[in-house]
Chains A and B, each alone.
Chain A
Amino acid sequence: MRTLLLRRVGHAALVVAGVVCLTFLLARRLPGDEAVTATGARATKEQLAAARERLGLDDALPVQLWHYLTGLLHGDLGTSLHTRQPVLDDLRRALPASLELVGAAMVLAVLVGLPLGVLGARFARRGTDLAVRTGSMLLVSVPVFWLALALQLLLATKLGWFPVAGEYDRSLDSSSPLTVFTNVTALDALVTGNWTVLGSTLHHLVLPAVVVAAYPIGVVAQMTRAALIEESQQDHVRMERALGFRPLEILLRFSLRPAIGPVLTLLALVFAYTLVNSVLVEAIFNWPGMGTYTADAIRSVDTPAIAGVTLVVALVYVVGNLAVDLAQILIDPRARQR
């Protein structure tokens, strides 16, 4: 088992190395000249040349890659062109807000998607199942930016049930100021017992979280349904039926547990996908996370910021996959035999 674990970790390390190299090449090919940014638009030719020299932009590619790598090890992702801050600092502020949003969406995905999948499997091939299949497929197929615009117009602008945009009501900052620990506003408010800000945050969170959750809910419902239907063809189900258990009881007590593994594995993949999807949603709701940051970076052709986001999300993805695989090797004896 140890060699299996080590081999899996080694493989992940190899992929990380490849990801770093690919991001480096992307960053070098991205438009936008760091020397121009460093010196300002009105710099003379000599100043530009000096800046290029200082930034090492004239060095051979392998030398540049070496500088990039050593920089990364010191946490240096470069300086953003549009915020003029180190990219790492920007991300440290933006990532928690995104994780708050995507985390809420994943909770919704499990709370709504799982029961939907069970419902579909229980009434397989009947009307209810048809509705579950259609509904979950619609959720998977909807363009999230369009859903965001539509829900914002209907539920926020027209009906006024939810706030149009923002993370929480900023006017509360004077009456009940928030102490920031983690930058996850809901968590900070909860820990410090700041109930007004917590309420405001949750209220603001509903619309963007529902939009971001659309895809995960659909995927989880589909996977759960498929896994349960496949599991229902197993011999133990025939046994349980013969013993007189009711269909729903068989599903929940006996079939769900062996079938749930692949669904949970999938959640890790969906998490990264959803993190990227937030690029299309956050800007619409003015949510101060990585999606808004990326959308701004794209608009201002901000090379270091785009490269930084690409690297960080890819790393989150690789590490997430690794964690799921390792957990499975440790928990599930069947996974060790592969």
Chain B
Amino acid sequence: MSAVLPVARLRSLARRDVLATIAAVALAVIVLAALLAPWLSPYPADGTSATHPADSLLGPTGSHWMGTDAVGRDVLTRILYGARTSLLIVAAVLAISAFAGVLLGCIAGYAGGWVGDVIMRVTDVFLAFPALLLSLALAVILRPGVGTAIIAIAATWWPWYARLSCAAAQAVRGRAYVDSARCLGLPRWRIVLEHVLPNSLTPVIVQLSLDAGGVILTAAALSYLGLGAVEPTSEWGLMVQQGQESFTTEWWVVTFPGLAILVTAFCFNMLGEGLRQALDPRRVIR
């Protein structure tokens, strides 16, 4: 593992890159809050379908720190539960697209020839669509929901990983240790799995951390447009959409979920930026 994540280098960077370190700590807090949402939130039932019409649109007070929404649910509770939705989407999208992309990229890069050409041309076609656009079109086809958001975003995200790992695989194809593995008669799938794949992991890990913020924003945008998570799921983009009609008078329904998106995306981006500098062997740490 230390070959993939140089621990000592990370530790020295933590001391130098204050922003990335703060972001990492904040992210840990967000993940914990999401995991512990049922115990942390003041009104756990409000995370889903409970309604309290009598408490509709109350401002922030001691009993509702961030106020209540149009059907009387506690906004703080829904933000905590929304963290679960967002992190679930991020984890699923990145896992799916990294798996598919790295696999296809390694095959394309190692095999080369017409197989590689076909895979990479298909990748190019998918890359020709800006992520939100293709996700939009896909999400309209499928029925709105968290699963749809995951599929729609993953379908637009895998090409980046394919391109990255294809380049990495091409770089090691001619190396002596790969040649000798082939001469030893190792089957192709073992060469790809054991010798080509590990070498493409470092750029992929950096890309994963850089992409997480983008996935959060895209998922929020999809639900804001009504194509992602739907009621009664707690989701930040959906909360903004639901609150925008009454925004002029009840500011809290829109403000807090928006801040939650901003802070989470910011932390992911900062951490990704820091990791990229730490793990990029070309970059000198100053």
Task: Please give the residue numbers on chain A whose beta carbons come within 8 Å of chain B beta carbons, in ascending order.
Answer: 11, 14-15, 18-19, 21-22, 26, 29-31, 125, 130, 133-134, 137-138, 140-147, 149-150, 153, 157, 233, 272-273, 275-277, 279-280, 284, 294-295, 298-299, 301, 306-307, 309-310, 313-314, 317-318
Contact = CB atoms under 8 A, between A and B. Distances in A.
Contact of B132 (A146, A277, A301): A277
Contacts of A18: 121-122, 124-125, 128
A279 B268 CA distance: 24
B273 A146 contact: no
B140 interface: yes
Contact of A146 (B19, B128, B134, B240): B240
Contact of B136 (A145, A147, A306): A306
Given A233-B284, A276-B130, A294-B136, 5 more contacts: A141-B268, A273-B131, A298-B140, A306-B140, A314-B133
Contact of B262 (A146, A279, A284): A146
Nearest to B135: A276
30 contacts: A18-B121, A18-B128, A22-B125, A26-B137, A130-B18, A133-B19, A137-B270, A138-B262, A141-B217, A141-B265, A143-B217, A143-B221, A143-B262, A144-B221, A145-B237, A146-B257, A146-B261, A150-B258, A153-B247, A273-B132, A276-B133, A279-B132, A280-B221, A280-B224, A280-B225, A295-B225, A310-B136, A313-B133, A314-B128, A317-B130
B231 to A, nearest CB: 17
A279 B227 CA distance: 13
A298 B217 CA distance: 19
Contacts of A279: 132, 136, 225
Contact of B19 (A31, A134, A294): A134
A278 to B, nearest CB: 10
Given A133-B19, A146-B254, A276-B132, A141 B225 contact: no
Contacts of B136: 279, 294, 298, 306, 310
Contacts of B134: 310
A306 B266 CA distance: 31
B221 A145 contact: yes
Given A138-B262, A141-B265, A276-B133, A149 B247 contact: yes
Contact of A143 (B129, B137, B251, B261): B261
Of the listed residues B131, B226, B265, the one surrounded by the most CB atoms of chain A closer than 10 A to its CB is B265
Interface in B228-257: 237, 240, 244, 247-248, 251, 254-255, 257
Nearest to B129: A314
Nearest to B244: A149
A15 B128 CA distance: 8
Contact of B121 (A14, A30, A140, A277): A14
B67 interface: no
A138 B266 contact: yes
A22 B251 CA distance: 42
Contacts, number: 131
Of the listed residues B131, B133, B268, the one surrounded by the most CB atoms of chain A closer than 10 A to its CB is B133
A275 B134 CA distance: 13
B175 interface: no
Contacts of A143: 217, 220-221, 224, 237, 240, 258, 261-262, 265
Nearest to B276: A226
A129 to B, nearest CB: 10
A145 to B, nearest CB: 5
B130 A272 contact: yes
A2 to B, nearest CB: 22
Interchain residue pairs A-B with the least CB separation, the first 10? A18-B125, A146-B258, A141-B265, A141-B266, A276-B130, A143-B261, A276-B133, A276-B132, A29-B141, A310-B137
Nearest to B127: A15
A15 B266 contact: no
A191 B79 CA distance: 50
A277 to B, nearest CB: 7
Nearest to B221: A280
Of the listed residues B140, B220, B269, the one surrounded by the most CB atoms of chain A closer than 10 A to its CB is B140
Contacts of B257: 146
A30 B152 CA distance: 13
B105 interface: no
B254 A149 contact: yes
Contacts of A277: 132
A141 B125 contact: no
A30 B214 CA distance: 25
B216 to A, nearest CB: 8
Nearest to B237: A143
A301 B140 contact: yes
Of the listed residues B136, B224, B248, B268, the one surrounded by the most CB atoms of chain A closer than 10 A to its CB is B136
B213 interface: yes
Nearest to A277: B132
A130 B137 CA distance: 39
B168 to A, nearest CB: 18
B129 A310 contact: yes
Given A146-B261, A150-B258, A295-B225, A157 B133 contact: no
B19 A130 contact: yes
Contacts of B133: 276, 309-310, 313-314
B15 interface: no
B26 interface: no
Contacts of A144: 221
Contacts of A294: 136
